[in-house]
Amino acid sequence: MKTLFFRAGLLFLVALCSTRAQTQERLSLSEAIDIALYNNPGIQKARKEVEAFDARVLQAGRIPNPELGIDWNESSSIINPGEANERDISFTQSIEFPTKRGNRIDIASTDRELAQLRLDRTVLLVISQVKRSYFDLLLSQKLAESLDKQLALLKDFQQLLAARFEAGSSSYLDVIRAKVELTRLKNDIIKAQREQQVRRRNLQLLIGKDAEQKSALSDGFPTALAIVDNDSLANALAMRSIVARCARLSVQRQKQFQTLAKSTYLPDLQIGVSNQRRGRAHKPMGC
């Protein structure tokens, strides 16, 4: 009796494990895009660059630090500098010409905007790659399913030809042709399965997941397609092109550098206060 219960429990565990092994995680297109955007190293690098340029904007707008200077001249003793004959204590503040600080801030802001555009471009590229890989895998799955259905139909047709051949209503050449087509279709199925595995691994690696982990795609192909005129599409892409915007900002950045270089010819100002003490002049010794 105990042996019977033990075998029943063992069979239940084996069935449970096999059921869990067969279940696959369902993956939608939006989930795949979110995972890829979170795990992609290029996007993480671009985000860090944007944060670095944020700090550079603050650094470009800083005001020069004030300076404190103390001078002791003709000191009679290093231990007691207060007995020196001359002492200067000064506090100065440099003031740049008004356009220099603004030009530096403009250049740093343009660099930050360029970094943000590079981040946006990287995000768009990753999204397009994920979509293409997702639909490639979905297409390979649909193709494999179609080939399986063709295989089932061809097997039924082969059985029908075999029965007709035995009845004498079909030639042996038709049976051979059916076998050849069946073998060719099986080879196509093997090729489609290999292609499906390759595309699945490409998608898994692209989104940063384990290549051996299988995921069932939950989304299908889009059904509604918008009809867009070629000229309007070209104009819209030209207006929203990140590459074109980066080119315009690069030209603007060079102009800002030229303006900053011209402003270096302008003098800076320096204001401050100082406290000076001068000792008595030495009297000439008498003869």
Mean pLDDT computed over every residue of the chain: 80
In 168-211, alpha helices (H): 172-207
The HSE-up count of residue 186 (CA atoms within 13 Å, CB side) is 7
Residue 222 is classified by DSSP as -
| pLDDT for the residue 18 | 46
| pLDDT for the residue 130 | 92
Residue pair 196/137 in contact (Cβ under 8 Å)? The answer is: yes
* 276-284 CB contacts, 8 Å cutoff, 24+ apart: 276/86, 276/87, 276/88, 276/89, 277/86, 277/87, 277/88, 278/85, 278/86, 279/74, 279/84, 279/85, 279/86
Q: What is the mean pLDDT of residues 56-83?
A: 74
Query: pLDDT for 160-196, tens place per residue?
Result: 888 888 887 878 888 888 888 888 988 999 999 999 8
Q: Which fold has domain 25-221+229-273?
A: Outer membrane efflux proteins (OEP) (1.20.1600)
Residue 52 has pLDDT above 90, yes or no: yes
Residue 154 has pLDDT above 90, yes or no: no
| pLDDT for the residue 260 | 87
Query: pLDDT for 231-281, tens place per residue?
Result: 776 777 777 788 888 999 999 999 998 988 888 888 888 888 877 776 654
Q: Between these two residues, 202 and 232, which has the higher pLDDT value?
A: 202
Task: Decide: pTM greater than 0.95.
Answer: no
Q: Which of the four pLDDT bands, split at 50, 70 and 90, describes residue 224? A: low
Distance CA 87, CA 240 (A): 66
Residue pair 92/270 in contact (Cβ under 8 Å)? The answer is: yes
Query: pLDDT for 66-76, tens place per residue?
Result: 888 877 666 56
